Amino acid sequence: MQTPALSRRAFVASALVGAAIRPTMLLAQDAPIKIGVGSDPVFSSFYLAAHEKMFEAEKLNVEVHIYQDGGEAMNALVAQQINLAPASEPSTMIRFARAEMRPLAVVYQSGRYVKMVIGKDVESPEKIKKFGIVPGSIGEYSTLLALKKIGLDPSAVQMVRSGPPELPALLARGDIDAFFAWEPWPSNGVKQGGRVVMTSKDVGYVDTMWITAAASWLDANNEAARGILKVLARSCEIVVHDPQRAAEAVQAVTKIPVAQTLTLLKDFDPGVRDFTDADYQSYDGIAGFLAQQKMTPSVVDFRRYIQRGFYKAEHA
């Protein structure tokens, strides 16, 4: 998930300023805990926590590094440039083979943020001939579910591979008839004449975002990880109950306009929680999809990596 506002430029928000406060939960040599996030309002709780120094209040020395999207943040985690990163299920699963990582909790869920847009000259979804897809993404997964729901044979539909930012332009030119993607690309597609006809929830998929830690870091910083989840839980509550405050923090950190964030906040539910049986059932579908699309060599055994039970809300 991403927005063109920041491009690839990284912003670092340090939650510890000066040496007046001596943290009690730090890495070795007082090194900061580095969290990598994407650059759109889905990550509002992280922006807010950094902007309002919520980590500092818990004696946590945290830096929030902003990348273009969750996938790039996960690449930084794999490269050991950061310690934790939130990202979608497929973005995390496809990287399990490259590094030892441990998903700790769900920090977001929706079913409304990923939307299907069809072109202005397409009468109905049943008339789709060319579908724009981001390979291996939750957009492609939603596309396949949508084709099944609509009753279209996938072999009769041309799949046009693309990056997310190009999808609205492809739709406007008529190079594709539809696409399924996360915001802000559906809104951009609507601005160019398209219309939203369904969401991922309509086709049976509720997307979640995990916060994942490097395994070696987690082994040495268990309590710090719990403290970070505690801060994020509080931040998520503010995002839900005071969206204006959250949107202003997003603007301060990323320059994304307040009005844009307020609109997008209506489409997802921030909140820190443990994994559930229903989550696992959904993730089985994602794991099967990734193997089928050759994004992973086999079906990922995500249960081996997920730290179910690590987050306990009563202790937050």
Domain boundaries, the chain: 12-109+208-315, 114-203
The per-residue pLDDT for 313 is 74
The per-residue pLDDT for 31 is 87
Overall average pLDDT of the 224-252 stretch: 98
Cβ(272)–Cβ(105) below 8 Å: yes
- 4: pLDDT strictly greater than 70: no
Using the structure block, give the residue that is written with the tokens 């397409």: 122
User: In the structure, what pLDDT confidence band is assigned to residue 26 with cuts at 50, 70 and 90?
Assistant: very low
- 176: pLDDT strictly greater than 60: yes
Overall average pLDDT of the 246-265 stretch: 96
Q: Which of 178, 175, 169 is nearest to 133 (CA)?
A: 178
Cβ(236)–Cβ(107) below 8 Å: yes
> Does domain 12-109+208-315 sit in CATH 3.40.190.10?
yes
Q: Which of 102, 91, 285, 306 is nearest to 204 (CA)?
A: 285
Cβ(22)–Cβ(89) below 8 Å: no
The per-residue pLDDT for 262 is 97
- 18: pLDDT strictly greater than 90: no
CATH H-level, domain 114-203: superfamily: Periplasmic binding protein-like II (3.40.190.10)
- d(C-alpha 286, C-alpha 224), whole Å: 30
Q: Do domains 12-109+208-315 and 114-203 have the same CATH topology?
A: yes
- 315: pLDDT strictly greater than 80: no
The separation between CA 23 and the C-alpha centre of its own chain, rounded to angstroms, equals 29
The per-residue pLDDT for 128 is 96
- d(C-alpha 194, C-alpha 185), whole Å: 11
- 196: pLDDT strictly greater than 50: yes
**Per-residue pLDDT tens for 239-252?**
999 999 999 999 99
- 144: pLDDT strictly greater than 50: yes
**Per-residue pLDDT tens for 113-129?**
999 999 999 999 999 99
User: In the structure, what pLDDT confidence band is assigned to residue 1 with cuts at 50, 70 and 90?
Assistant: low
The per-residue pLDDT for 30 is 72
The per-residue pLDDT for 90 is 95
Q: Which of 80, 41, 108, 91 is nearest to 256 (CA)?
A: 41
- 14: pLDDT strictly greater than 80: no
